[in-house]
A and B are shown apart, each in its own frame.
Chain A
Amino acid sequence: EVQLVESGGGLVQPGGSLRLSCAASGFTFSHYDMHWVRQAPGKGLEWVSAIGTSGDTYYSGSVKGRFAISRDTAKDSLYLQMDSLRADDTAVYYCARENWGSSYYFDYWGQGALVTVSS
């Protein structure tokens, strides 16, 4: 059974840093691109970042230069280092697996980790 479990969320002051983790199991982690998607309270979904199987990285304009995605295939884990955090980064952060068939799509999601940026 595919499982994605996020951890590391919490309360942080504006300008602070936080590192999210996503532990993967039930599939060959190294074979899949992985993503972070966030959802601000009462708002819709927003794609944040992606990392390919070769370690290539991609970011949305709203987090580029402040967030860094990485992965450790030995630990089957995905990470999101978040620096210079702002109030509008407050959200539930989901990790998601990208699958492919005739196109690419997110097929499994974690339960989410809440990040609150507030003084």
Chain B
Amino acid sequence: QSVVTQPPSASGTPGQRVTISCSGGTSNIGSSSVHWYQQFPGTAPKLLIYSNDQRPSGVPDRFSGSKSGTSASLAISGLQSEDEADYYCATWDDSLNGWVFGGGTKLTVL
């Protein structure tokens, strides 16, 4: 069980806006930045959002991130079929003195 929790699944129809939550505590999200990764089956994770709300070059602005207190969220607007993937949040944990990942959310585009 990860100390940072995500819903195991999320879904939406093309064009919709979906959000994926990432909930933690004061030793992790509450005191460190949150980053998001996108992973397609059989491939390596790809950086999607860093430092809570920053998009790397090449990531569409349909993807956005936010953080408040001990929770963070990833929002995807204008959902597309190619967004169907697994999404992970990650942050540093001061108590564990290591990095922690959320359990991952499988996004299905209906």
Contacts and interface: CB of A to CB of B under 8 A. Distances in A.
Interface of A: 35, 37, 44-47, 50, 58-61, 94, 101-112
Given A47-B100, A58-B97, A110 B88 contact: no
Interface of B: 2, 32-33, 35, 37, 43-47, 50-52, 54, 56, 88, 90, 92, 96-104
B103 A44 contact: yes
Nearest to A94: B44
A103 B65 CA distance: 15
Q: Is the interface of A mostly helix, strand, loop or mixed?
A: strand
In the A-B complex, the 4 residue pairs with the closest CB atoms: A103-B33, A47-B99, A109-B44, A44-B104
A45 B101 contact: yes
Given A102-B33, A102-B51, A46 B101 contact: yes
Residue of A50, A59, A107 with most chain B CB atoms under a 10 A cut-off: A107
B44 A47 contact: no
B90 A107 contact: no
A6 B44 CA distance: 12
Given A103-B33, A105-B35, A107-B56, A47 B47 contact: no
